[in-house]
Amino acid sequence: MPQKLIDGVRTKQLSLHADERGRLLEIVRADDDMFIKFGQVYLTTAYPGVVKGWHFHKRQTDSMAVIRGMMKIVLYDAREDSPTRGLINEFFVGDWNPMLVQIPAGVCHGFKCVSDHEALVINTVTEVYDCAAPDEYRLDPHTSEIPYDWARKDG
């Protein structure tokens, strides 16, 4: 059964095209109904077992795609005025499930590399990073403020 999505979160299964020359994975287009605006595109990675999180933005929307390896991307809705406040979403994204996950401003998010090699994430964001006044607010990945355990869940 599909999980109930946090208000404003959107996903899109990505199509991978492969032939004897290699692969093509189209991630986001300006004419895509999920496209909001362009700020910048960046690559971030995580080594096996590493958790990067939690953080959120007040203005920025993130659109993440894992292009190598597998990531567990986890979202937590801490927004006071949200109809899905307190909801958690988990997405297993990457080699075996190519997907774009769009995360609206105010939603806490993080990810954990669950593959046996470094995982690579392409993030297309709506705002340009401002070193002088970053729109990034961090929490410890194991904070008790978010009811989530990053440990592997067997069973």
CATH no. for residue 124?
2.60.120.10
- What is the domain extent for residue 22? 10-132
Q: Is residue 59 part of a domain?
A: yes
Closest C-alpha among 140, 120, 136 to residue 128: 136
Instruction: Give the mean pLDDT of 68-96.
Output: 98
Q: Is residue 103 part of a domain?
A: yes
Can you give the pTM of this predicted structure? 0.95
Closest C-alpha among 121, 14, 17, 24 to residue 69: 121
Q: Is residue 141 part of a domain?
A: no
Distance CA 120, CA 149 (A): 22
Q: How confident is the model at residue 1 (pLDDT cuts 50, 70, 90)?
A: low
Calculated CA dihedral for residues 5, 6, 8, 10, nearest 10 degrees: -30
Q: pLDDT of 16-26, one tens digit each?
A: 999 999 999 99
Instruction: Give the mean pLDDT of 69-80.
Output: 98
Q: How confident is the model at residue 153 (pLDDT cuts 50, 70, 90)?
A: confident
Q: Is residue 140 part of a domain?
A: no
Residue 82 has pLDDT above 90, yes or no: yes
Lowest mean pLDDT among 47-51, 55-59, 85-89, 150-154: 150-154
Query: Beta strand pairing status for 119-125 and 62-68?
Result: antiparallel
Report how many domains make up the chain.
1
Residue 60, CA distances (Å) to 38, 39, 124 in order: 10, 9, 10
Q: Is residue 144 part of a domain?
A: no
Residue 148 has pLDDT above 90, yes or no: yes
* Percent of the chain predicted with pLDDT > 90: 95
Q: Is 80 left (phi over 0), alpha (psi -120 to 50) or beta?
A: alpha
Q: Is residue 4 part of a domain?
A: no
Instruction: Give the mean pLDDT of 122-140.
Output: 97
Instruction: Give the mean pLDDT of 57-82.
Output: 98
Q: What DSSP assignment string belongs to 42-65?
A: EEEEE-TT-EEEEEE-SS--EEEE
Q: Is residue 73 part of a domain?
A: yes
Supply the pLDDT for residue 154.
Answer: 84
Q: Is residue 5 part of a domain?
A: no
